[in-house]
Structure 1
Amino acid sequence: MAVDEVAASLLYQVTALAGQVTGRMQEGLERLGLSGPTANLLWVLRPEGEPQSLRQLAALLHCDPSNVTLLSAQLEERGLAERRPHPRDGRVRTLVLTPEGRAVRGRLLAIVAKRSPFADLDDGDQRLLHSLLAKALDTA
């Protein structure tokens, strides 16, 4: 297979996997009462470590900060997250998980792990794929 064909095939595979992930996650997200975008925001909120600004979260999600503001409000309404001033710069707003938000995020990660197209790969294959995807994303 020529290099261009391999690259095209890889893009097809990644796109097909993204579609599978979306389809497999929908039922689980509905059970948690989350939309895809709110689940993505909940996913990128790390319970440990320094709080991230709304602007940083928008960059992680590849969206406009106004979208993160809207999604943040939805998570706040459900009691899953709180907007707070940054601990070192009070002018910056961050989004922090509440205890309930941590619990829902844990259930979300469990659903993802169970329903993922990668769930049947052994630990070594998952780690290898993780490494390769991280390398591809770093160069993107």
Structure 2
Amino acid sequence: MATRPLTTTITAIERIAGAHRGAAVPVLHEIGLSETQGSLLWALGGSITSDLTMSEAAAALSCDASNLTLLARHLESLELAERIPDPADGRRKRLTLTDRGREVVDRMTRALGEATPLRSLTDAERATLDELLAKAVG
């Protein structure tokens, strides 16, 4: 059996990511967000509680705390997110979505849902893909 080149898989993932960026960017630009700021909003929307500590948010975006602070300030200025004290440790701050932030994440989700090549997969195929991706990212 011939082995499939890794570049084939990477290229497919990049094409899917490109389709997602293409769908999200118009929504983001309409409300004055860069792709990086949109990534932070998306990370918050994808968390179970719609909030992350500042360090968790920085890790999700692979950026340092000072960059995250600037991103968070911009989201706050647009009333998409707010920093609140962490109930478990008052020295830490959590970044949480506002109702308006949740509305924007919902708009992005709808736009991505319409544009994603993944919509052609069955539920079972997406479940398998989710398992494989979880294994790949650790």
Report the TM-score, using the length of structure 1 for normalisation: 0.83
The offset of 1:27, in angstroms, is 2.3
Which structure carries more strand by proportion?
A: 2
Contact 2:24–2:108 (8 Å) recurs in 1: no
Q: Distance in 2 between matches of 1:49 and 1:24?
A: 25
The 3 A distance-change label for structure 1 pair 23 and 106 is closer
Report the residue type matching 1:34 in the other structure. L
1:24–1:97 CA distance, 2 compared to 1 (3 A): closer
State the TM-score, normalized to the length of structure 2.
0.84
CA distances 1:87-122 after superposition (whole Å, capped 9, x unpaired): 121111110111111222122212121211212222
Unpaired runs of at least 5, structure 2: none
Counterpart of 1:89? 89
Residue 82 of structure 1 deviates from its aligned partner by 0.6
Q: Which moved more, 1:109-118 or 1:12-21?
A: 12-21
**TM alignment of 1:90-105, pairs within 5 A:** 90-105=90-105
Unaligned runs of 5+ in 1: none
Distance, in Å, in 1 between the alignment partners of 2:87 and 2:97 is: 15
Deviations 1:7-59 (A, max 9, x none): 22212222233233223332233334432111111111147538421111111
Verify the 8 A CA contact 1:80 1:101 in the aligned structure 2.
Answer: yes
Identity of aligned residues (%): 36
Partner of 2:24: 25
Q: Distance in 2 between matches of 1:127 and 1:24?
A: 23
Runs of 4+ displaced beyond 3 Å: none
